[in-house]
Amino acid sequence: MKYDEFIKHVQTVAQMDSREDAQRATQATLETIRERIVGNEAKDLASQLPQQFSEYLRGREGEDGQPFSMEEFLQRVSAKEQVEPTVAANHVRAVFAVLQNAVTPGEFTDFKANFSDDYIDLFATGSNLGASAAS
């Protein structure tokens, strides 16, 4: 998936008004993912995404992730994105949904394994992204 396509899908799934909002949400989410998951897993995830996302995910290779809760994850995204946590939650769900369609199933499974059970709501989208991503 190309960068512009990824951002467009995030904007559509999250029903954002602008491309800039989708870019900001994607950056905030990916930077927080980098803090949360094992550094080598973030590098592996980056290797399957557009090169523009690399700087948001790389730089912690060989380090363990920080074991913070879903609530803390949303607080961090919220602060980076400068939106309310409830808005950030919607944006994170959209980025996670697009990630699921942008990387291989095995890589997404590895990525998801870095999150505790309290994150389950962020992985449930209910969107029809699969249909829109195929077009």
- What is the spatial distance between Cα 40 and Cα 58, in angstroms, rounded to a whole number? 8
pLDDT of residue 65: 87
**Is residue 128 in a domain?**
no
The domain in which residue 23 lies consists of 3-122
pLDDT of residue 125: 53
pLDDT of residue 2: 95
**Is residue 135 in a domain?**
no
pLDDT tens string for the chain (135 positions)?
899 999 999 999 999 999 999 999 999 999 999 999 988 999 999 999 999 999 999 988 888 888 899 999 999 999 999 999 999 999 999 999 999 999 999 999 999 999 999 999 999 754 444 434 433
pLDDT of residue 134: 38
**Is residue 132 in a domain?**
no
**Whole-prediction pTM:** 0.89
**Is residue 134 in a domain?**
no
**Is residue 17 in a domain?**
yes
**Is residue 118 in a domain?**
yes
- What is the spatial distance between Cα 56 and Cα 23, in angstroms, rounded to a whole number? 12
45: domain CATH number is 1.10.490.110
**Is residue 130 in a domain?**
no
pLDDT of residue 59: 87
**Is residue 96 in a domain?**
yes
For the chain, the domain total comes to 1
